[in-house]
A and B are shown apart, each in its own frame.
Chain A
Amino acid sequence: MNMNEIIKITNLTKSFGNIIACSSITLEVYPGEIVGIVGESGSGKTTLLKCASGLYKPDSGEVFFRSDDNYVQNICNISEPDLRQLMRTDWSFIHQNPRDGLRMNISAGGNIGEKLMAIGNRHYGNIREAAAAWLEKVEIDSSRIDELPSNFSGGMQQRLQIARCLITEPKLIYMDEPTGGLDVSVQAKILDLIKKLVEELNIAAVIVTHDLGVVRLLADRVLVMKDGHIVEQGITDQVLDDPHHAYTQLLVSSIIQV
């Protein structure tokens, strides 16, 4: 199968009992592109993310992922070892709460180096060097390499999680509210960092958030979800500056102006 997209979702539907969380969603993401998914709580954005990353099996529809060597896999019927292999190499998942993505009883260096060891790196010196380099990249002093994540502030923990996720240079990252729960100035720093790294490594990213500011800053394209449907999509600035759908207009107008 030939495709240019890195991930392609076609007619994806997922319901929980009577509740339809995602209804025939179609979405393509191209390499190096950041796609934002916005919507209120319960609009199905997290379900979509979980289906896209193989954590949920959709009721119908398909999710295709293309690796570097143009090998296309259907995520909906991928075997668990293959899925976990993808998670270790080509994909990464940045959680809202860094505690979900980090090992809190393992040092910062160990947290960053874990994926390297998981894919077979067996040279302590090299792993440590890479971990230190990544700490610097996410603007944490590399002298703190042996400290536990619990010694770090919330923002630093989130940066640590980013380093841990990006060390294997994945092709695609999924982010679920990556700046939720952080104060605004720290949010801005993290968003800057994500934007810089994503551009540097040419990573495609799917970012789920209810915060239009995050989308405005990060996303090239945005999808607005409501009740399991995509109600509007397009270039971020276009959608946010000239929203067509009534719901998008409501979202945009409800941003508090300071």
Chain B
Amino acid sequence: MDELKYNFAYLDEQTKKTIRRAILKGLSIPGYQVPFSSREMPMPYGWGTGGIQVTSSCIKQDDTLKVIDQGSDDTTNAVSIRNFFKRVTNVQTTEDTNKATIIQTRHRIPEIPLVEKQILVYQVPTPEPFRFLEPSEFETRKIHALKEYGIMHLKLYEDISKNGHISTSYNYPVLVDDNYISAPSPIPKFDNPKMNNNPAIQLFGAGREQRIYAIPPYTKVISLDFEDYPFEATKANAVCQLCGATDSYLDEIIIDNAGGRMFVCSDTNYCHNNLLKKIYNP
């Protein structure tokens, strides 16, 4: 069979070793972007090649893998990455957040609180939080080295002056361990508070940009704001029309051609569990 020709988890052992070294360095300097030699993966950039390489380097035979895309276990990206790992590792996969030991995610943190020994792997398109303010990598490295972080507030200032509130709603910049400003990847700012003091290991992989960074368990992560415009974890002001949850992040889905729409949990596993509870304990 074709897949037998691949090493466990697709990457060769030497590559995994270098990536693990980058991850360890990232964990030792929370929020610092560690360069690594990103490999060509059997899928295009932008599909999660960074996250996949991080997952490949961490995954063991006895792990249970969950893959989500925008909170959902059954979108194309999630399904193909899950199938990919099934083929090249043969590990158990699950949709259940509680049972997973490694969760690879695109754009969400699960609603169910993570626990120790779980690893959350983020797929990151743009690891550099200052990239849209400062196009030069040379300069952004200097910004981090010298902690010249004022211009991030400039971005928030522009938000307020244009819209009356901080309108940045995803990839909302965070200060990790009172030290480095980092990009949380394009998660909604609703998820930002979950990063703070999280018992799980949070790893970030950017394949095209060749950067890995990390947040160790129980690390202080704060979202930047102004004293008179404090950070708000916003979500749509509605309830999930499937499970009735009021505390979860909602997707707005257009359901017909007449402008009909409904709000549903973006975290499908969370919604599913709520529905099961409703059915069995009405």
Question: Which of A's residues lie within 8 Å of B, judged by CB?
Answer: 80-81, 84, 103, 106-107, 109-110, 113-115, 117-120, 122-125, 127-128, 145-146
B5 adjacent to chain A (CB < 8 Å): no
- Give a binary string over B147-168; 1 marks a CB under 8 Å from any A CB, 0 the rest: 0101101100110111000000
Contact check, A117 vs B154: say whether CB atoms are below 8 A apart: yes
Q: Given known contacts A123-B228, A124-B226, A125-B228, is B158 in contact with A110 (CB within 8 Å)? A: yes
Chain B contacts for A119, CB-based, 8 A = 150
Which residue on chain A has the smallest CB distance to residue B150? Answer: A118
Contact check, B158 vs A123: say whether CB atoms are below 8 A apart: no
> A80, A114, A115: which contacts B146 (Cβ < 8 A)?
A80
> B148, B161, B227: which contacts A107 (Cβ < 8 A)?
B161
> A106, A122, A145: which contacts B154 (Cβ < 8 A)?
A106
Could you pull out 24 A-B pairs where Cβ atoms are within 8 angstroms? A80-B146, A84-B148, A103-B154, A106-B158, A107-B158, A107-B161, A109-B161, A110-B154, A113-B154, A114-B151, A115-B150, A117-B150, A117-B151, A117-B154, A117-B157, A118-B150, A120-B150, A122-B153, A122-B226, A122-B227, A124-B228, A124-B229, A128-B157, A146-B162
Q: Chain A nearest CB: distance from B153 CB in Å? A: 4
Chain B contacts for A120, CB-based, 8 A = 150
Chain A contacts for B226, CB-based, 8 A = 122-124
Chain A contacts for B229, CB-based, 8 A = 124
Contact check, A81 vs B150: say whether CB atoms are below 8 A apart: no
Contact check, A114 vs B154: say whether CB atoms are below 8 A apart: yes
Question: Which of B's residues lie within 8 Å of A, judged by CB?
Answer: 146, 148, 150-151, 153-154, 157-158, 160-162, 225-229
Which residue on chain A has the smallest CB distance to residue B134? Answer: A103
Q: Given known contacts A123-B227, A124-B228, A146-B162, is B157 in contact with A118 (CB within 8 Å)? A: no
Contact check, A118 vs B146: say whether CB atoms are below 8 A apart: no
> A81, A84, A110: which contacts B157 (Cβ < 8 A)?
A110
Give CA–CA (A139, B160) in the complex, Å: 24
Q: Chain A nearest CB: distance from B54 CB in Å? A: 32
Q: Chain B nearest CB: distance from A55 CB in Å? A: 14
Chain A contacts for B160, CB-based, 8 A = 124
Question: Looking at A80, A110, A118, A145, which has the most chain B CB atoms within 10 Å of its CB?
Answer: A110
Please give me the 4 A-B residue pairs with the lowest Cβ-Cβ distance, nearest first: A118-B150, A124-B226, A117-B150, A117-B153
Q: Chain A nearest CB: distance from B4 CB in Å? A: 53
Give CA–CA (A122, B151) in the complex, Å: 12
Which residue on chain B has the smallest CB distance to residue A146? Answer: B161
Chain B contacts for A109, CB-based, 8 A = 157, 161
Contact check, B161 vs A145: say whether CB atoms are below 8 A apart: yes
Chain A contacts for B153, CB-based, 8 A = 117, 122
Contact check, A118 vs B161: say whether CB atoms are below 8 A apart: no
Which residue on chain A has the smallest CB distance to residue B229? Answer: A124
Chain A contacts for B228, CB-based, 8 A = 123-125
Give CA–CA (A148, B7) in the complex, Å: 55
Contact check, B151 vs A118: say whether CB atoms are below 8 A apart: yes
Give CA–CA (A106, B229) in the complex, Å: 19
Chain A contacts for B227, CB-based, 8 A = 122-124
Q: Given known contacts A122-B226, A123-B226, A125-B228, is B161 in contact with A110 (CB within 8 Å)? A: yes
Give CA–CA (A5, B229) in the complex, Å: 43
Give CA–CA (A131, B280) in the complex, Å: 60
Q: Chain B nearest CB: distance from A163 CB in Å? A: 15
Chain B contacts for A103, CB-based, 8 A = 154
Give CA–CA (A115, B151) in the complex, Å: 9
Q: Given known contacts A122-B226, A122-B227, is B148 in contact with A127 (CB within 8 Å)? A: no
Give CA–CA (A118, B149) in the complex, Å: 7
Chain A contacts for B161, CB-based, 8 A = 107, 109-110, 128, 145-146
Give CA–CA (A50, B210) in the complex, Å: 36
Q: Chain A nearest CB: distance from B178 CB in Å? A: 14
Contact check, A113 vs B151: say whether CB atoms are below 8 A apart: no
Chain A contacts for B157, CB-based, 8 A = 109-110, 113, 117, 124, 127-128
Chain B contacts for A114, CB-based, 8 A = 150-151, 154
Give CA–CA (A117, B229) in the complex, Å: 14
Give CA–CA (A128, B150) in the complex, Å: 15
Chain A contacts for B154, CB-based, 8 A = 103, 106, 110, 113-114, 117
Give CA–CA (A123, B226) in the complex, Å: 5
Which residue on chain B has the smallest CB distance to residue A79? Answer: B146
